[in-house]
Homo-oligomer: A and B are copies of this chain.
Amino acid sequence: MPQSKDFSYLLSEEAKRRNASPLKTAFKYFGLPDLVFLGGGLPLSDYFPWNEVSANSPAAPFSQGIAAKPENADDGTITKITKTDGTIPLSKSLQYGYTEGQIPLMEFVTEHTRIVHNVPYDDWKCIATIGNTQAWDGILRAFCDKGDSILAEEYTFPSSMEAASAQGVNIVPIDMDDFGIIPQALDEKLSTWEGKRPKLLYTIPTGQNPTGSSLSFERRKEILKIAQKYDFLIIEDEPYYFLQMEPYTEDLETRKKIGVHSHQEFLDSLVKSFISIDTEGRVLRLDSASKVLAPGVRFGWIVGQEKLLERLIRAHEVSIQAPSGFSQAIIHGTLSQWGQEGYLDWLIGLRHEYTEKRDVAIDTVAKNFPSEVTSFIPPVAGMFFTVKLDASKHPKFATEFEKDPLKVENAIYEMALEKGCLMIPGSWFSIKATSEQKDTHIFFRGTYAAVPLDKLVIGLERFGAAVKDSFQL
């Protein structure tokens, strides 16, 4: 396999200025049997006030579903950690060190990455993060100086954009359609670029937030080629990658039959990631436990080429240091008992749950929203769906709303709130200037992730009624 290319010329001034601590040269002596090491301010683990931590999880292969409650407290996968025992004992997990992540956990994550993405160059690795939000903030610092530009989907996650604009980074929106970034639009934007070229493309390729769109493998290949042509890095923010679902079908009989039946079928069903086709080390992949295990564990990892990740590790040493030791020890305790196969079972279980929720959401939208003005694409991944409405068909479009689609959007948002359902207006996610938005279509972002199915149905019935009332249909 090839080695990655050197992209160090894309680093920010800040990243270039980072040095390793001089103390590191002393730490190479730490742990030598004949040496008394009085060099580091590490508290004795005798004084850590926890002697034992245990956690109880469902057991693979989750045949009753991932959300099934265990009948007995002793059922399930029990993780037990003491100061000296457990896959990552407390004397290690609660001590300083391991900025790159606790070794056994990173080995698990790396093997998982190999199974799923099979990165096609030699010197790739995974380093620990405390989640993709921080990882993205750190990547911005590592590559962008004030005044630099990045590319992003025209509708995207506001926190990511907020992080960029606070750093004084210019954000250039790329046109999307129902299936994500339009490669031709990206190429055109770059071919007519004036001034300093963008260093990064920030994208949420799978189950995009907010649109719910997913880039096809074909589009990913085209976008990677464009990245090579105009020499920028791709940052794939992929928290929803494993919330890929079965294809939507209205037919209930077909629904019962579809579903993946083996680990290989599952792996084959996943759209190929940017990193899986990146032979140069041009892609940094942000992976997170937030949507597949739990957000509050604050653990994720970046996959990418070693040379660029080294700069991030230097930054982590003097900022986040490392993810929580409790989080790392408990996660590894659970995952190591499940094993790689058991973890795939968990992800298949998630797929099943999300497919059901997506189906209920789409069925309810189809039934309750007026087809004259509504369109939607059933999402194939993620937590979000969008409902598109043609604002120009609103009876007051040309009068009260002065042909401004955003006024229609706001009126519907408020009427739905009154009826008791909240979805987020699409314009809240737009990074284009309002004047640039010429389309008369508006959309709302909903989620099927956060509420039980019965509430989901009630909510969407209410929202549909609000649309009907507003459009007088």
User: Chain A: residues with CB nearer than 8 A to chain B?
Assistant: 13-14, 17-19, 21-23, 26, 29, 34-58, 66-67, 69-70, 73, 76, 90, 93-96, 130-131, 133-134, 137-138, 146, 158-160, 162-163, 165-168, 209, 290-291, 293-299, 315, 317-327, 330, 334, 346, 350, 353, 383-384, 417, 420-424, 428, 445-452, 455-456, 458-460, 462-463
Question: How many angstroms between the C-alpha atoms of A315 and B462 in the bound complex?
Answer: 36
Q: Are A296's CB and B158's CB within 8 A? A: no
With A51-B70, A330-B53: A422-B29 Cβ-Cβ less than 8 Å:
yes
CB-contact partner of A422 in B38, B346, B384, under 8 A:
B38
**Chain copies in complex:** 2
> Least Cβ distance of A287 to chain B in Å?
16
Question: How many angstroms between the C-alpha atoms of A304 and B462 in the bound complex?
Answer: 45
Q: For A34, give the chain B residue with the smallest CB separation.
A: B420
Q: Are B162's CB and A44's CB within 8 A? A: no
- The interface residues of chain B lying within 8 Å CB-to-CB of A49 are 57-58, 66, 293-294, 334, 346
Question: How many angstroms between the C-alpha atoms of A460 and B38 in the bound complex?
Answer: 9
Q: For A93, give the chain B residue with the smallest CB separation.
A: B296
Q: For A81, give the chain B residue with the smallest CB separation.
A: B55
- The interface residues of chain B lying within 8 Å CB-to-CB of A23 are 158, 424, 428
Q: For A132, give the chain B residue with the smallest CB separation.
A: B321
CB-contact partner of A447 in B41, B133, B422, B458, under 8 A:
B41
- The interface residues of chain B lying within 8 Å CB-to-CB of A130 are 130, 298, 320-321, 324
With A14-B168, A296-B324: A159-B40 Cβ-Cβ less than 8 Å:
no
Interface-central residue, A138, A421, A422, by most chain B CB under 10 Å: A422
Q: Are A43's CB and B450's CB within 8 A? A: yes
Q: Are B67's CB and A26's CB within 8 A? A: no
CB-contact partner of A296 in B95, B296, B384, under 8 A:
B95
Question: How many angstroms between the C-alpha atoms of A49 and B323 in the bound complex?
Answer: 19
> Least Cβ distance of A219 to chain B in Å?
23
> Least Cβ distance of A88 to chain B in Å?
10
- The interface residues of chain B lying within 8 Å CB-to-CB of A34 are 420
Q: Are A134's CB and B35's CB within 8 A? A: no
Known A53-B54, A159-B318, A298-B325; 17 more pairs at CB < 8 Å: A13-B168, A19-B166, A21-B162, A23-B424, A23-B428, A38-B421, A38-B463, A41-B447, A43-B294, A50-B334, A52-B56, A54-B55, A95-B294, A130-B320, A162-B317, A297-B325, A297-B326
Question: How many angstroms between the C-alpha atoms of A422 and B39 in the bound complex?
Answer: 6
- The interface residues of chain B lying within 8 Å CB-to-CB of A423 are 38-39
Q: Are B29's CB and A51's CB within 8 A? A: no
Q: For A446, give the chain B residue with the smallest CB separation.
A: B38
Q: List 18 A-B contacts (CB under 8 A).
A: A14-B166, A14-B168, A17-B166, A21-B162, A36-B451, A38-B448, A46-B67, A47-B66, A47-B353, A49-B293, A52-B55, A53-B330, A133-B318, A134-B321, A146-B146, A162-B318, A294-B325, A326-B330
Question: How many angstroms between the C-alpha atoms of A17 and B169 in the bound complex?
Answer: 11
Q: Are B162's CB and A18's CB within 8 A? A: yes
Q: Are A131's CB and B321's CB within 8 A? A: yes
Q: Are B43's CB and A449's CB within 8 A? A: yes
Question: How many angstroms between the C-alpha atoms of A66 and B46 in the bound complex?
Answer: 8
Question: How many angstroms between the C-alpha atoms of A395 and B76 in the bound complex?
Answer: 70
Q: For A18, give the chain B residue with the smallest CB separation.
A: B166
